[in-house]
Structure 1
Amino acid sequence: MPKAISNNTPSDASDQETPPGPTETVTIGDTRVTLLGTAHVSRTSAEEVARFLASGDYDAVAVELCPSRYRTLTQPDSWGETDLFRVIREGRAGTLAAHLAVSAYQQRLAEQLGVDPGAEMRAAIDAADEQAVPLWLIDREVGITLKRLLWGVPWTHRLALVGGLLTSFLSREKVTEDDIERLKEGDVLESTFGEFAEHSPRLYNHLVGERDRFMAARLRQEVAASRRSGSFDQGVGDGVETGNRDHVLAVVGAGHLAGMVDELSRSDAADPATTIDELNQMPPRRRWLRAIPWLVVAAVAVAFVMGFRQSAELGFRLMGEWVVINGALSALGAAIAGAHVLTVAGAFVAAPITSLNPTVGAGMVVAAIETGLRRPRVTDFDSLRSDITHLKGWWRNRVARILLVFIMSTMGSAIGTYLAGFRIIEQLVR
């Protein structure tokens, strides 16, 4: 049974001027796991991680990273391999935009503090490589977390989430390193959405609680696999045989420390694979929510039929208003996003048609047109991380602008659909 032990620091930590971050040690079977709480944009946290691993006390390193975030951190040029057409076609443009906005916020904090975001994770990766010990990626894919966050809470909480993201991104208030270090105190949430999640248990659960369970399950899974094999199974790259695992260092955000200790200390924990599968599933969409777009289409079609039954003039007028209102608002959204003039025209044509087919979104078509007309250059991918830290950069960078075009044209079409619908009903009941 895993159980909590007293706080643990390397032997030389007491000699440092900077006090160590929060740590806890638990046991999983015969394996000790020391969890080190860090702040994701803190120079002190990066130095702490390097100091812990320099002690040579650890036989494996676990980090709060998923495979995609690991690639972004270790291969900063990997953005250039992004297939935007595929992202748009698979409906992941909004998720990618949200991921970029979060990255932009952390990058802005990092610029103020003079430290790269994720420097403590980078230090752990480098130390694991230098010492030839296994590296485990234990966090859930960021895209899954964002989707569960979006679809697992009421629409009012979604507004708070989007508002928190925009506020964090647009704010230019200076943040000191002391402020960042306070993230180590207690159960503090991820900095980007913290203020909003603190007042919403459901947001907190998706953002922090679920990931506490996921990372605890991944640790159990890796420890069990290593015990079965009798050697270290390196999580990234080739395995390196170094004997039985005795001590693992897990580098995680301080806000996850207490929750992970609770999970790892439970004697009734479910099978790790079962927990991981459960937490990777998308929340079931309510049937009535899935039916709304089709009900809107049916209502519009019925309205057109009723209009033509009254008179051909009314029927054509209703169709004309549907096209003008829906198309104009989607085109306006594309124009605000800085789309090409032909993309704006495409939005005007596509939105009234796609709004009558819920399987194809206006934003998907419009963003594809923009991508074809202004295909991102290598320099756009190279400068993406720096451009998105400034509001103007979202319009200047072609990759970011395509995502804006997708979002703004989609919003315009959605608003236009309901405004045109109300307008049609108004004319039918006169």
Structure 2
Amino acid sequence: MPQPPSAPPSAPAAQPQCERTIGAARVTLLGTAHVSRVSVAQVSRLIEGGDYDAVAVELCRSRFAALTDPQALAGMDLFSVIRQGRVYMVVANLALAAYQQRLADQFDIEPGAEQRIAVRLAQERGLPVLLIDREIGVTFRRIAARLGWWRRTTLFAGLLTALLSGEKVTADEVERLKEGDVLETAFAEFAQDREDLFVPLIAERDRYMAAKLRLEAQRVGARRVLAVVGAGHLAGIARDLDAAPGDPQACLRDLEQVPPPRRGPSVLPWLVLVLVLGGLAWGFVQSPQLGWDLVLSWVLITGGLCALGTLIAGAHPLTIAAGFLAAPLTTLHPAIGAGMVTGAVELWLRAPSVGDFSRLRTDAATLGGWWRNRVARVFVVFLLSSLGAALGTYVGGVHIAKRLLA
């Protein structure tokens, strides 16, 4: 079988670009490919030419921090991440970083290298660096808000499976990376229908970056701005800059809000609570013996499956016990998940070292690394114990219904 090339197919000799006027500023929109050395070279050439007094990049604050401070993860408060329900977001970000590492290892060029060189050269010359992309967490949440709960679950599972796969990146993925960015390619890899992803992933970000460009160019008083964006965003940003400007602040506020899920606030957890408690109560009405049998079944099923998920995650024995004890109660409480308990207990029992934090991005690039690294394993414990408890809720509910209807 032929080996993949050591680098992606070369990009065109010149990357697409266009000029736009924003108030007193003249903006050059440069469309780049995120796995192209030609893009890196052209960014370098334009900045080193000395024609610009500000450089805008397709980065948000969190991605900029990760780019400029590799040790930023060392300051992460894991208890706060668990308590605030941000585990899924952090895991998705780490999986995305793992995908980037795969690309770097395969093609010997780091995705987003043109953004990195743009930031470095701008800082060396004392030029303002304008961060114009929307926070990646907001984009993830706005995507989730457009999907039903099952699609959200399958999307997240598919994202992890695709990004953590050890397989070589295909030629099709490389072609998509030339047009869009790593985030878009990661979703496109497994999403069967991108219609419900296009708006928050591409169209909204085009509008956001256009509004942010207007605002930031005015804030720093720039006369000539180089905006380094993915080639797939070039036409959309240019189109939004050509449109009536409106109030950029209002536009940004609107695009940063997280709407409720597509079908409104979920009533499923409360429905489960009512049905299970109602079923247990009806069992006691029929017979105290039946009622206690149903309670015992609920404890064994939900606690057992949660403990099984925690065991597969390689958790401490006391964490497994905590999952078994917590799941029968947390599955009946919409605001508290079993993963919050097991994740916190595992973190308390096996506190990560500084080395675990420093190796987190590297370890997250391999499936085994998620079990080996204590920081990543806390997230695995959270996810698998939550999955076990959710499965236990379904199995336990069906068991109670069958016993009552028998």
Q: Deviations over 1:47-103 (max 9, x none)?
A: 221122111111100111111111111010111100000000000011110111111
Moved more, 312-321 or 157-166: 157-166
CA contact (8 A) 1:64 1:251 kept: yes
State the alpha-carbon separation in 2 of the partners of residues 304 and 161 from structure 1: 34
Q: Does 2:21 match 1:27?
A: yes
Q: Does 2:62 match 1:86?
A: no
CA contact (8 A) 2:34 2:177 kept: no
Q: Which of 303, 322, 326 is 1:346 aligned to? A: 322
1:31-70 aligned within 5 A: 31-70=25-64
**Structure 2 CA distance for partners of 1:131 and 1:348, relative to 1, 3 Å:** same
Amino acid corresponding to residue 263 of structure 1 in structure 2: D
CA contact (8 A) 2:98 2:361 kept: yes
State the alpha-carbon separation in 1 of the partners of residues 212 and 145 from structure 2: 24
State the alpha-carbon separation in 1 of the partners of residues 181 and 63 from structure 2: 23
State the alpha-carbon separation in 2 of the partners of residues 163 and 292 from structure 1: 20
Q: Deviations over 1:275-294 (max 9, x none)?
A: 11111111213676432211
State the alpha-carbon separation in 2 of the partners of residues 356 and 366 from structure 1: 16
**Structure 2 CA distance for partners of 1:274 and 1:64, relative to 1, 3 Å:** same
TM-score normalized with structure 2 length: 0.91
Question: Which residue in the other structure is 1:281 paired with?
Answer: 257
Q: Which of 376, 386, 396 is 2:352 aligned to? A: 376
1:340-419 aligned within 5 A: 340-419=316-395
Q: Does 2:229 match 1:252?
A: yes
CA contact (8 A) 2:14 2:42 kept: yes
Question: Which residue in the other structure is 1:161 paired with?
Answer: 155
**Structure 2 CA distance for partners of 1:284 and 1:70, relative to 1, 3 Å:** same
State the alpha-carbon separation in 2 of the partners of residues 23 and 288 from structure 1: 41
**Structure 2 CA distance for partners of 1:423 and 1:305, relative to 1, 3 Å:** same
Identity of aligned residues (%): 51
Q: Deviations over 1:90-120 (max 9, x none)?
A: 0001111011111110111012122234321
Q: Does 2:91 match 1:114?
A: no
Question: Which residue in the other structure is 2:313 paired with?
Answer: 337
Amino acid corresponding to residue 333 of structure 2 in structure 1: N
Question: Which residue in the other structure is 1:306 paired with?
Answer: 282
CA contact (8 A) 2:159 2:190 kept: no
1:187-336 aligned within 5 A: 190-196=184-190, 199-226=193-220, 232=221, 245-267=222-244, 269-285=245-261, 289-336=265-312
State the alpha-carbon separation in 1 of the partners of residues 396 and 185 from structure 2: 40
Q: Which blocks of at least 5 consecutive residues in structure 1 are unaligned? A: 1-15, 227-231, 233-244
State the alpha-carbon separation in 2 of the partners of residues 143 and 345 from structure 1: 33
Q: Deviations over 1:289-343 (max 9, x none)?
A: 4322112112111111111111111011100111111111111111111111111
CA contact (8 A) 2:60 2:135 kept: yes
Q: Does 2:66 match 1:72?
A: yes
CA contact (8 A) 2:138 2:256 kept: yes
Q: Does 2:127 match 1:127?
A: no
Question: Which residue in the other structure is 2:7 paired with?
Answer: none
TM-score normalized with structure 1 length: 0.86
CA contact (8 A) 2:303 2:323 kept: yes
Q: What is the count of residue pairs matched by the alignment? A: 397
RMSD of aligned Cα (Å): 2.4
**Structure 2 CA distance for partners of 1:338 and 1:82, relative to 1, 3 Å:** same
